[in-house]
Amino acid sequence: MTLMEQARAGTVTAEMRRVAEREGVDPEFVRRGIARGTMVIPRNRLRQKLEPVGIGEGLRVKVNASVGTSRERADIAGELEKVRVAAQAGTDTIMDLSTWGELDLVRREVLAAAPVPVGTLPVYQAVAEAIACHGTPAAMSAEGLFETVERHAADGVDFLAVHAATCRETIQRARGSGRIDHLVSYGGSYLMGWMIATGRENPFFEQYDRLLEIAREYEVTLGLADTYRPGCLADSLDRLQVAEMVILGELVQRAREGGVQVMVKGPGHVPVDEVSATVRLEKRLCAGAPYFVFGPVVTDAAPGYDHITSAIGGAIAGASGADFICYVTPAEHLGYPTAVDVREGVMAARIAARWGDLARGLGDGKSAK
Amino acid sequence: MTQMMAAREGRVTPEMTHVARDEKVPVEVILEGVARGTIIIPHSGGRSKATRAVGIGRGLRTKVNASVGASSEGSDAGGEIDKLRVAISAGADTIMELSSGGDLDFLRRQVLEIAPVPVGTVPIYQAALEAIEQRGSIVDMTPEDMFEVIERQGADGVDFMAIHCALSLEVVARLRQQGRVADIVSRGGAFLTAWMLHHERENPLYEQFDRVLEIAKRHDVTLSIGDAIRPGCIADSLDRAQVQGLLLVGELVERAREAGVQVMVEGPGHVPVPQIEATVLLEKQVCKGAPYFVLGTLVTDIAPGYDHITAAIGGTIAATAGADFICYVTPAEHLGLPSAQDVREGVIAARIAAHAADLAKGVKGAWAWDLAMARARKALDWEAQFRLAMDPDKPRRLRAERSPGGSDACSMCGPHCAMKLISEYLGRKEIETC
């Protein structure tokens, strides 16, 4: 039985009780949230010792810090230092978004080092391996993609970000959409490139049930990622973004039917007066699924200070109902972040989350943290 | 003659013309706003150096103030002048000189000499300091001392002054009855309250408000009616004492306007999320659309060291709700005197808040800036990105440090580059690299 199925059967599990205790809420409230899918507790079945973290409606707004090796910097020790700094600064979760280097090793080291739930984006590894083995990401296969997902789940990853809604229908729509900045999602771009090169449907979309099976087996929470998150203010809430959100809503429903915990990833670059509408739209279309937002940054014009532009957007998003804020560091748009940037990014996101908590009426310090 | 009096006569001043050009709005909009008092142009005629006329108020770009000032503990005049230059280069629209130590006349005149933007002061600081020096304590300050300093600063050409006129015995009584957590955090407000309680007398700046108006009118000093009892923690926000003070401000705003004196209102402070919009709307209503100058606002009390960020969040919401003018908060707030670097961070954070709000309010030109940046980013035109950046230096430095290769060409995927495939599919001429 998955956690969601247990909740539906009326069982208050140990992790639900622990989350309730940390949040200062009734365990029954957590059980109901998990059963409905308005709350998730991302914890891989293999990681029973991990302190559970609840994300969703009625709980404190959570913060994620991302680390990862890249072609420019494949130094594992440096990334582990960032994991340590992020945890010390109070991040609630860590994502390992490594795109280059010894990816299996980095992931396993991050999982061993992080005292909080860990998420990954398996398509990065599938792309890196296709390039390493065949010289091109077009050589990526559906089998390879699922094999990578399974490998991550079997290592104990707690939540997986997958661009499952990027289907042929949406890429048709991308043509002539008049966007300024077409694609800023790295994983989404590769999937879309692969779809164009091979003429095939996105395997995560086409074989979504297979994804759900893996998620069930390992109790992995799915983070349904959006390929068309806006990369500049002008593209926010355009037809492409909304069209994808409609499909995301359908996939949320299917995940829940399969007893799989699921959250939805979002923005990006969003002007102040569109932040609340974006969150409300997600809550409506995705039936209250926890919303995991990147930033959002509220102006394109302040590179070097995007931890601040995103603290503003994250605060408004949190107050409007977003549940989980992915940090943005001062190095965003410019290069890789240092450990100091990571600390600044986590602190800024936590301030935004705190604002969200106050707006939710959770500001009375009841949290047991 | 003040800008307001000129506007009421239908006379367009060079300052109004400049502001109209700067804001890309018809000069009639400025003329009407200044006449009504919904727009102010703090511009004293008394400064020797030509300064930029800056319009503040409804329909205009949200402005940002940076405060500098020496204190009795440490900071020297040279250091403060340095901060002034940093604040100007970071894009502050106005400067407030808030010294509470050192040679105050000298430093103020230096700031007025150097700053190419409107300069504001809080005269009560100097009156209090001189009372300590000459009479031994703040409570020995006489009403004459207060007015003499206001006059002296006005004659020097100060463009706007924060004066705590809206503090009365009635407000103090309400404050006592309220039972606040943080009582009074405004330094000027605290000085005056101590004086009032000691002498059991009404606040001279309230009692003799006409005298304040007379000086303001003579030098065309814009009044910033200081919020002497702004909330010092989120628990004190929008309490009965604050609201009582605001009602008094509203009455004084009307009297200032009747006298042809330009006036704005100074506000929060620490304000929790659900109260920011209400605070701004209340000010706009009670003070009949007078420009609202807000400190921060800070949205949580628990992030010292990062209050430029808490203030940027609150400032965005406040300005979106209608606040016109944001006083910056630096990372050193609540902890000590800011360094020049703190001043830069504070100005940029406040400018981000102001600009984010301007985008939401649809202020002219705001969207064009972001669009230009988005296009530069898409085209991977780094020089254009740096040029367009709110602070060009920091991104240039970060890019150099954090992306040492710096190459835009991508050799990872060869002929099957996903970006190239997507670009071709989407029918775009340029190749979009990753």
- Residue B415 has a pLDDT of 54
Task: Give the residue numbers spanning the domain of A179.
Answer: 62-359
A134 touches chain B (CB under 8 A): no
| Chain B environment of A305 (Cβ under 8 Å) | 348-349, 352, 390-391, 394
How many domains does chain A divide into? Answer: 1
The answer to whether position A37 is within a domain reads no
Q: Is A46 helix (H, G, I), strand (E, B) or coil?
A: coil
Residue among A136, A234, A350 whose CB faces B416 most closely: A136
User: What proportion of chain B, given as a percentage, has pLDDT over 70?
Assistant: 92
Residue of A136, A272, A338 lying closest to B360 (CB–CB): A272
CB distance B352–A315 less than 8 Å?
A: no
Please, which residues 225-254 of chain A have a Cβ atom closer than 8 Å to chain B?
A: 231-235
pLDDT above 90 as % of chain B: 68
- pLDDT for B94 beyond 80: yes
Angle at A169 between CA A166 and CA A171, to 5 degrees: 60
Determine how many CB atoms are found less than 10 A away from the CB of residue B144: 10
Question: Which one of A83-92, A126-135, B177-186, B289-298 scores highest in mean pLDDT?
Answer: A83-92
pLDDT for position B409: 43
**Residue A281 confidence (pLDDT) above 60:** yes
Q: Pick the residue from chain A with its C-alpha nearest to B414.
A: A136
Q: pLDDT tens digits for B292-307?
A: 999 988 877 888 899 9
* Residue B274 Cα distances to A258, A359, B257, B363, angstroms: 39, 6, 31, 24
Name the B residues in 222-281 with CB < 8 Å from any A CB. 234, 272-274
Residues of A in contact with B320 (CB under 8 A): 272-273
Q: What angle do CA B336, B341, B344 make, to 5 degrees?
A: 105
Give mean pLDDT, residues B215-229.
92
pLDDT in tens, B240-256: 888 889 999 999 999 99
Residue A315 has pLDDT above 80, yes or no: yes
Is B374 in Cβ contact with A233 (below 8 Å)? yes
Q: Which residues of B touch A138 (CB under 8 A)?
A: 416, 418, 421
Residue A54, pLDDT > 60, answer: yes
- The topology under which CATH files domain B40-361 is TIM Barrel (3.20.20)
Q: Do A175 and B426 touch (CB under 8 A)?
A: yes
Residue A47 located in a structural domain: no
Interface confidence, given as ipTM, is 0.86
> Residue A367's pLDDT is what?
42
pLDDT of residue B344: 97
The answer for A 48-77 residues in CB contact with B (under 8 A) is 71-72
Average pLDDT value for residue range A291-297: 96
Q: Is residue A158 part of a domain?
A: yes
CB contact under 8 A, B299 and A355: yes
A137 touching B (Cβ < 8 Å): yes
Is A19 inside any structural domain? no
User: Would the CB atoms of B355 and A193 count as touching at under 8 Å?
Assistant: no
H or E stretch covering A172 = helix A168-174
Mean predicted confidence (pLDDT) in A173-177: 79
The reply to whether A198 falls in a domain is: yes
Rounded to an integer, the average pLDDT of A42-50 is 96
Statement: residue A18 has pLDDT above 80: yes
Q: Is residue A42 situated within a structural domain?
A: no
Return the closest-CA partner of residue B9 out of B43, B34, B38: B34
- Per-residue pLDDT at B47: 82
CB-based contact, A359 to chain B, within 8 Å: yes
Question: Which of A174, A301, A348 faces B355 most closely, judged by CB atoms?
Answer: A301
Mean pLDDT of chain A: 93
What mean pLDDT do residues A36-57 have?
97
> What per-residue confidence (pLDDT) applies to A175?
78
Q: How far apart are CA B234 and CA B32, in angstroms?
A: 37
The domain ranges of chain B are 40-361, 366-425
Q: How confident is the model at residue B427 (pLDDT cuts 50, 70, 90)?
A: low
Q: What are phi and psi of A70, to 5 degrees?
A: -140, 180
Residue B74 has pLDDT above 90, yes or no: no
Burial classification of residue B382, based on how many CB atoms lie within 10 Å of its CB (0-12 exposed, 13-18 middle, 19 or more buried) = middle
Distance in angstroms (rounded) separating the CA atoms of residues A330 and A337: 7
Q: By the CB < 8 Å criterion, does A367 face chain B?
A: no
Q: Give yes or no for residue B126 having a pLDDT over 90.
A: yes
pLDDT at B354 over 90: yes
Q: Give a yes or no: residue A20 inside a domain.
A: no
Looking up residue A158, the CATH number of its domain turns out to be: 3.20.20.540
**pLDDT class of A363 with cuts at 50, 70, 90:** low
Residues of chain B found within 8 Å of residue A193, distances taken between Cβ atoms:
416-419, 421-422
pLDDT surpasses 90 at A324: yes
CB–CB of A272 and B389 under 8 A?
no
B52 touches chain A (CB under 8 A): no
pLDDT band at B364 (very low <50, low <70, confident <90, very high): confident
Position A176 confidence tier, pLDDT thresholds 50, 70, 90: confident
Q: What is the mean pLDDT of chain B?
A: 90
* CA atoms of B208 and B346, how far apart (whole Å): 36
In the predicted structure, residue B434 carries a pLDDT above the cut 70: no
Residue among B313, B397, B403 minimizing CB distance to A312: B313
pLDDT band at B431; cut points 50, 70, 90: very low
> For residue A299, what are the CA distances in angstroms to A179, A265, B383?
17, 20, 19
pLDDT for the residue B184? 84
Residue B353: which of B395, B392, B325 has the closest Cα?
A: B325
Q: Which of B273, B403, B412 sits opposite A359 (nearest CB)?
A: B273
Q: Determine, for residues A175 and B398 on separate chains, whether the beta-carbon distance falls below 8 Å.
A: no
Q: Pick the residue of B270, B333, B342, B352 with the most A CBs within 10 A to test the interface with A by mutation.
A: B352
Answer whether B418 touches A (CB < 8 Å). Answer: yes
CA distance B96 to A36: 54
In chain A, residues with a C-beta closer than 8 Å to the C-beta of B425 are 171, 175, 196
Kindly report, residue by residue over A194-251, the tens digit of the pLDDT: 998 899 999 999 999 999 999 999 999 999 999 999 999 999 999 899 999 999 999 9
Q: Does B413 touch chain A (CB under 8 A)?
A: yes
Residue A224 lies inside a defined structural domain of this protein: yes
Residue B417: per-residue pLDDT = 60
Indicate if the pLDDT at residue B281 is higher than 80: yes
Among A189, A300, A359, the residue with its CB nearest the CB of B274 is: A359
CB contacts, 8 Å: B401 with chain A: 335
β-strand A262-266 against A291-294: which pairing, if any?
A: parallel
The CA distance from B397 to the nearest CA of chain A, in Å, is: 9
Q: Does B312 touch chain A (CB under 8 A)?
A: yes
Token digits of residue A210? 């297979």
The closest of A162, A172, A170 to A207, measured between CA atoms, is A162
Q: Which residues 286-315 on chain A approach chain B with CB closer than 8 angstroms?
A: 298-305, 307-309, 311-312, 315
Is there a contact between A335 and B416 if contact means CB atoms under 8 Å apart?
no
CA distance A260 to B159: 64
| pLDDT value, residue A161 | 97
